[in-house]
Amino acid sequence: MADQSPEQVLDTIGAEVRACTACRLHEKRTKAVPGEGAIKSGIMFIGEGPGFHEDQQGRPFVGQAGKLLEEMLAAVGLRREQVFITNVVKCRPPGNRDPQPDEIAACNAFLERQLTAIAPRIVVTLGRYSLARFFPGAKISAVHGEPKFADGRAYVPFYHPAAGLRTPAIKQMLFEDIQKLPEIAKQLKELHEQGYFEQKQAETAEAAVSDEAAAADEPASDQLSLF
C-alpha cells in the first residue's frame, strides 16, 4: 500500500515470499529466503538463489560464500547488517542447480518491489543470473567491477562469492572489485550533482517523441489484395 513505510513493505514482501507457490521451487524448500539487511544503507547485493544453509535458516548468504561476502564487506569497512542482501530467486533450487527462467520470472515482482522499497544507490550483482537481470547479454569476465549508471543509481557486477571459494584468482578479483565501491559512490554523487540522470531522462523522452513523429510520417505500406 502507498502509505506503508519501506519496513512495512519489506515485511509484506517477506510474508508473501514465505507463502508463495508460484513456481516448483516451493515444493522442496525448507524455508523461503526473502532477504535481509539495512533498508537505508543505500547498498543492495543481489545473488542468484539460496543454498543448503540458506534454505535451512531462511536467511541469505549464511554458508561459506556468505562468510566470504562478509570478509569482502569488512575490507571496505562494512558489516552485513549495514547492507541489504537478497537473491533473484527466493527458494533453493534442488541440488543447488541453476535457477530456471520461469523460476526467475516468478520471483521478479518480489525483487522489483524490494528495489522500489529500498531505493538503493548502489546495486551489486553477484553471479551470472543476477548479472543477466541488469546487464543483459554481458559476460561477467568482461564487465566485473565496472559500474553502469542508470535509473539514478550505480549497478556493479561482481563474480559470485562461491566462485571465489573455488578459484583463488576470482577471489582476488572480488576483493579488488569491492574496493572500487567508495569511488563508484563518489562518481554517482557527482553525476547527481551534475544533473546527469535528469539529462538522460530528457534525452530518452525526446528520442521517444521523435520516433513517434517519424512513425506517423511514414506512408502506409502497399498491401497485396487477396481478391
CATH topology of domain 6-187: Uracil-DNA Glycosylase, subunit E (3.40.470)
Q: Is the pTM of this model over 0.75?
A: yes
Low-confidence ranges of the chain (pLDDT < 50): 221-227
Apex 113 CA angle, 80 and 17, nearest 5: 75
Q: Degrees (nearest 5) of the Cα angle 109, 174, 185?
A: 65
pLDDT at 1: 52
> What local confidence, expressed as pLDDT, does residue 21 receive?
97
Check residue 73 and give its pLDDT: 98
Residue 225 pLDDT: 36
Tell me how many degrees the CA angle 2-35-26 measures, rounded to the nearest 5. Answer: 100
State phi, psi for 15 to the nearest 5 degrees.
-65, -40
Per-domain boundaries in the chain? 6-187
How much is the pLDDT for 43?
97
